[in-house]
Amino acid sequence: MPDQRTILITGASSGLGAEMARQFAALGYDLALCARRTDRLDALASEIGAAHPDVTVSVKALDVNDHDAVFRVFDEFHAELGHLDKVVVNAGLGKGQPLGTGRFDANLETAQTNFIGALAQTEAAAAIFRRQDAGQLVMVSSISALRGMPRNITTYAATKAAVAHLAEGFRADVHGSPIKVTVLYPGYIASEMSGTAARTPLMSSTEKGVRAMVDAIEKQKASARVPAWPWAPLGFVTKHVPTAVLRRMA
């Protein structure tokens, strides 16, 4: 196994994925970064290379809805870097519409990308980890996964609950082995997907929110609501408030 630590991050062209790349580079990780927008990936790779010249940054185009490409790209990264210590399943969509309002198309796209796309990524990562008999799968879920949510995030929340369970099931499969699984439940962290939530006083900066995510990954926590304040207590509230209150909160 190489001495240099390696991490693969999907959806790395912007937002949480790009900031994770910056922070893991600062920790000395070699990076495997993929997303659809290769121009942004190239710019990010140049930025990281200038700041951390000893870090290897490999970038590849990837649409996670192209399932054959997911397996191919993950295997190519593995071959290039020699080992994958961590894989972060981060790529996803934040779009969606209330059920029954004629926007099945938007909800279907969200479900396909956030769940089926994540399933392909998890399968590809799990196969590599089983061959290595080592590795850490990191699933980026959402605080919204803790409860069925109303309006535009109904389908989004359902997909994020599904991927959390997917990761937890894999954890049960590999329990007692060197393979670890971390499920992250981010609260409001500024990113391109934040939308109108950017106006809430609960919004964390991208740097602060991702720092909490990176810390949980590095500590190999089984699960973490991030940032811990205020999302550890608010997650409990979200899960247990009456439906009428939840409707006003969301």
- Domain span at 232: 6-249
Is 85 a domain residue?
A: yes
Per-residue pLDDT band for 119 (boundaries 50, 70, 90) equals very high
Give the span between the Cα atoms of 70 and 88, in whole angstroms: 13
Is 203 a domain residue?
A: yes
Q: What is the pLDDT of residues 60-113, one digit of tens each?
A: 999 999 999 999 999 999 999 999 999 999 999 988 899 999 999 999 999 999
Alpha carbon distance, N-terminus to C-terminus of the chain: 46
Give the span between the Cα atoms of 160 and 92, in whole angstroms: 10
Per-residue pLDDT band for 1 (boundaries 50, 70, 90) equals very low
86-109 burial code (b ≥16 CB/10 A, e <16) = bbbbbbbbbbbbeeeeebeebbeb
Question: What pLDDT is recorded for position 18?
Answer: 97
Is 152 a domain residue?
A: yes
Q: Which of 29, 156, 185, 188 is catalytic?
A: 156
Q: Which residues contact 178 (CB under 8 A, 6 or more apart)?
A: 133, 134, 135
More confident residue, 249 or 48: 48
Question: What pLDDT is recorded for position 230?
Answer: 76
Give the span between the Cα atoms of 60 and 41, in whole angstroms: 8
Per-residue pLDDT band for 19 (boundaries 50, 70, 90) equals very high
Q: Does 236 score more than 60 pLDDT?
A: yes
Give the span between the Cα atoms of 171 and 182, in whole angstroms: 9
| CATH, residue 100 | 3.40.50.720
Is 95 a domain residue?
A: yes
Contact (Cβ atoms closer than 8 angstroms) between residue 40 and residue 13: yes
Give the span between the Cα atoms of 188 and 136, in whole angstroms: 25
Contact (Cβ atoms closer than 8 angstroms) between residue 57 and residue 51: no
Considering only CA atoms, which of 115, 105, 35, 20 is closest in space to residue 69? Answer: 35
Is 1 a domain residue?
A: no
| Count of structural domains within the chain | 1
Q: Does 37 score more than 80 pLDDT?
A: yes
Per-residue pLDDT band for 194 (boundaries 50, 70, 90) equals low
Annotation says 185 is catalytic: no
Contact (Cβ atoms closer than 8 angstroms) between residue 114 and residue 92: yes
Is 130 a domain residue?
A: yes
Give the span between the Cα atoms of 122 and 120, in whole angstroms: 5
Is 122 a domain residue?
A: yes
Question: What pLDDT is recorded for position 196?
Answer: 44
Average pLDDT value for residue range 230-242: 72
Q: What is the pLDDT of residues 40-56, one digit of tens each?
A: 999 999 999 999 999 99
Is 150 a domain residue?
A: yes
